Amino acid sequence: MMMRLLLLWLALQSVTAGPAWTLAYEGRSTNDIVWDKRMRPLVNTRVPAKLSYELLHALGGPPDPVLVKDHRYVSVSACVAHACGVKGFFWIDVKTGVGLGAVALTTFDHLEADSLRLGSNGLSPTRIPAAARDALIDWLSEKELTPEHVDFIGSQGESLSLDASAFKPHVRYEPAGGPSFDCARASGVVARNV
């Protein structure tokens, strides 16, 4: 009984104390923050139950570094161990406490389209803050994911399809035709090693 009360007290402390503790994980592995006993209650209170279990599962696999922007916005991401076709992303604003979760499902044989499921208990699909959208699109760009279907899950578990074009990754520059100089004419150590 005492142990159960202690665990309940710790869970309540993690929720009521706010998410500022997440800032200490900047640059560290997503696995580090996911293993913190405060992370599960944080995700469960910010992301709808319909998505939170799948998101926590995805965040427990091969990790990316924890990103912090403006000492306010924290992003964590990873993919499911041995199944990196399922990727997870969690963003939180430590000032307001509002969070956004995302699970991307991809197929390697491209028989099905890539899909993205978003969810939040504190955001509506039409009011995703620019900081959250930018962090999400940066993540999609880094992972080279172009979702063809995007669904938003609200706090009551309701699902709404969103325009996938609003979540297109950034276009990466790739020079056409190779380098702009003749490699055979390179002189000097630096030019030859480029």
- 156: pLDDT strictly greater than 90: yes
Q: What is the b/e burial string over 135-167, where b = at least 16 CB atoms within 10 angstroms of the residue's CB?
A: bbebbbeebebebeebbbbbbeeeeeebebeeb
pLDDT tens-place string over residues 123-138? 999 999 999 999 999 9
Domain residue extents for the chain:
18-170
Give me the pLDDT at residue 69, please: 97
18-170: which CATH number, 3.40.720, 1.10.1660, 3.40.1420, 3.40.1000? 3.40.1420
Give the global pTM: 0.79
Residue 176: band (very low, low, confident or very high) from pLDDT cuts 50, 70, 90 = low
- 120: pLDDT strictly greater than 50: yes
Tell me the average pLDDT across 4-20.
54
87 and 54 in contact (C-beta within 8 Å)? Answer: no
Closest to 61 (Cα-Cα) out of 110, 104, 120, 15: 104
Give me the pLDDT at residue 9, please: 46
